[in-house]
Structures are given as C-alpha cells and as structure tokens.
Amino acid sequence: MILDNEIMTLSEELKDITITRRRNLHHHPESAWTEFRTAAFVADTLSDLGYEVQTGKQVIAESAMTGVPKAIILAEHMKRAMNQGANPKWVNKMGGGKTGVLGIFKFKKSGPTVALRFDMDANEIIEAQTDQHRPCKEGFTSLNKGFMHACGHDGHTSVGLAVAEILIKLKDELAGTIKLIFQPAEEGVRGAKAMAEQGIVDDVDYILGAHLGLQMKKTGVLACHITGFLATSKFDAEFTGLPAHAGAAPETGKNALLAASCATLNLHAIPRHSEGSSRINVGILNAGSGRNVIPANALLKLETRGATNNINQYMVAEAQKVIKTAAMMYGVDVKITEMGSAAGGNTSLELADKLSQTAKRLGIFEEIVPTCNFGASEDFSYFMERVQKHGGQAAYLMIGANLAAGHHDSYFDFDETALDLATKVISTSAIDLLNKVK
C-alpha cells in the first residue's frame, strides 16, 4: 500500500521516544482505578497532538465500576500522581477513580469509525530489586512500592501514543474517525465494562485490542485470530458471625471461619458444565483473630470462569448458592460483592483475516500464527461484544515478545524491539480500516 513506507519511517523515527515513554511509565506504575499520572500523561500527549480528549465521567459509567479503592486511598494516589508531575487539569476530572481516556479525531474525508484499545494499569506486585532485573540495573524500576508493570501495559500505552502520532502525521491521507481508548483497570477485569457501558464504542465499525507476549513469547511472532476468551466473574464474600470465648462459652459464638471453610470446599465441588470449559478458584481465605476466640469474621476472594457467558453465569449462580447456604448452616451473615468481570467471545474471523493479510504485506514478522486459543480472560471482550452486537467487527492481536519472566512475575520484562513491531502493525491495520469503504 502507498502509505506502508511512510508508516515504517515514522515508526522508526518514534522508536527512541516510545522506549523512553515505556520506561517512564514503568518507573511510575499505578494500579486499577488509580492511574492518575498515566492517564494525565496520555491526555496531555493526545491533546498536544490535536485530538479531542475525553476523560472522567465522560468515558466511565460509575454504576458499572467494580473493585474501586476507598476514597481515602484514591485521594492519596491523586496527590502522589501530581507530586510525580501529573497535570492537575486532568487529574481533577478523574475523581472517584474515573481514569479512562478517550482520544477522538475526525478526518476530513468520510469513512468508518475505528477504535483501538490500550490498557494502562500496573499490578500490585513488589518489583525485583537486583541487577539480574534489567529495569533495576538500568534505573527505571518502580518508584511506587508495591506496584509494578508486570504485564506489559506500560508498553501498550506507549505504543498507543506512537500510533496516535503516526495517524496525525498522516491525517491528510486518511478517512473516517479514529477513537483511541486508553483503559484503566484491566487487571482484575474491571475497566472495560465501565467504559463500554458509557457507550463510547456504540458507533464503532472496527475495534482492535492487542497484548505483548502471552502465548506469543518470541519477538517477531504474531497471532491475529484469537479464540476462546473465557467469561469470568470475581467476587468477595464477607462472612460475619459472633465472637465468643472458645473455652468458656463456645456455644454462644457464630463461627465465620467454619462457614467460609465449608463454602470453600463445596465451591470446588460444583459440577462442571457439559457445554464447555468451566473454572472456579478460591484464591484467598482470611479469618479469625486468635486461637482462643470463635472467629467472627472471614473473607473469601474467588473467581468463576466459563467458555461462554451462559456457562460462567451457571458457575456464578451455583457459587452464590453454596456461599449463602454455608452461611445459613452456621448462622452467620454473608455479603457478596462483585469485584470484576469479563465477557466470553471470539474475534471476528473476517477482521482477523484482514489483519493477517496486512501483517503479511508488511513483511516484518518471522511467523504469523493462524489461530490461537486464549484460554483465559481479558475484559477487552466487553468492547468486542458491544461492537459485534451493534453490527461491527472486533479483533485482538497477540504480538510476540521475548520475556525475561512470565506475566505477573516480579522479574517480568520484555524485549523492547516488540514496541516498534506493535506500532507498525497496529498503525497500518488502523489505516487500512479507516480507508476502507463502508
């Protein structure tokens, strides 16, 4: 295509700044709903490039937000972000953790509406502090203790900003409308639903998401047809009983620990579904206050998954039944709180084939994998589901990168060469779709 060479040149020119941005973001990680500095940096950059920038309640439906930190914690993170250089103009619009950012640009010629999604949040992990870990050795390890970019979202955000710049530099050659979605709270699958329910993709004809690494663990490998997004639901179950002296008056207590333990065992005994894969896991059980006290409180953190939304909903219904029944058996109260979720689904085959053809044309990948089963959950699926229900197409790219350690590991790092490959394939794919006749 006539613009391919220009895209390649522009991406090459942006390589150094893209790596610099990635390292800056890695140095200042922020977890779900607290990405104030990251989001403000994105908003500043998009605004300077000439995009219409929306943030805060413009792009986040508060009613759909789950797992949001308490107000006092959000305030602390807002203050830290501004102390680390975030523009107060943007931070003050993001109150309540509404840290999503949307950049919109309408080109002069009419055409499709294309959306690109980039996630911004970090993990709640303590980063390795040894010279065997390159970010530490080269001076861009996390400044924010207890938080780390251990999944590559710092790279995703940096690629998104490079793509934004390339599209603006080629704006006279492009048609339609581009929407650049910078999403908070992908970890714990919380952010996409709140943005999708605000309606920001309801007019979108094509939407693309992407991730570095995952099943593509080698730089130069690409997968365009991703299947098997598992639907998932995350819950906290808080059991509240009555404390009592375990020796003198055990009969007066109501044992929350036993109720939670009973629930845990029976949650893992839920029958599996005949129509596809299902999962359940209790990841955390905290309870009790002392060896001689009947435990009055217990907390379960659990998740369900299913190959389809229906299978996951079956698991959710059964799980809630088990939890409530266990509470009833031991005479304690229980409160169940949704903490996150993602839809099931698959990419649009026609769009996946188009992306594969684009990637082959560029000739920058050593291997293009025909199809890849995700076998996990990603809340991009909410955008995907919403666009497909409105008659559009959605696809997800896995862009290969050599990894120093697995995702969510304290030694996680990736080959930064992959940033340029990601910039090139996403920019070219977006331009191909923008200039496609509706």
| Structural domains in the chain plus CATH codes | 4-228+344-434 (3.40.630.10), 231-342 (3.30.70.360)
Give the pLDDT confidence of 13-69 residue by residue, as tens digits.
Answer: 999 999 999 999 999 999 999 999 999 999 999 999 999 999 999 999 999 999 999
What angle, rounded to 10 degrees, do the helices at 417-434 and 4-27 form?
A: 130
Q: What is the mean pLDDT of residues 113-142?
A: 97
Give 174-210 as a DSSP string.
-EEEEEEEEES-TTTT-HHHHHHTTTTTTT-SEEEEE
Q: What is the dihedral of CA 175, 176, 182, 187, to 10 degrees?
A: -110
Give the pLDDT confidence of 199-222 residue by residue, as tens digits.
Answer: 999 999 999 999 999 999 999 999
Per-position b or e across 95-120, b if 16+ CB within 10 A of its CB: eebbbbbbbbbebeeebbbbbbbbbb
Read off the pLDDT band of 437 (50, 70, 90). low
CA-based nearest residue to 81, from 44, 114, 118: 44
Statement: residue 114 has pLDDT above 90: yes
Question: Could you give the CA distance from residue 406 to residue 410 in angstroms, rounded to a whole number?
Answer: 9
Per-position b or e across 283-305, b if 16+ CB within 10 A of its CB: eebebbeeeeebbbbbebebbbb
Element (H, E) at 398: strand 393-399
CA-based nearest residue to 233, from 333, 318, 124, 121: 318
Read off the pLDDT band of 288 (50, 70, 90). very high
Statement: residue 2 has pLDDT above 80: no
pTM, full prediction: 0.94
Give the pLDDT confidence of 343-358 residue by residue, as tens digits.
Answer: 998 899 999 999 999 9
Statement: residue 367 has pLDDT above 60: yes
Statement: residue 435 has pLDDT above 80: yes
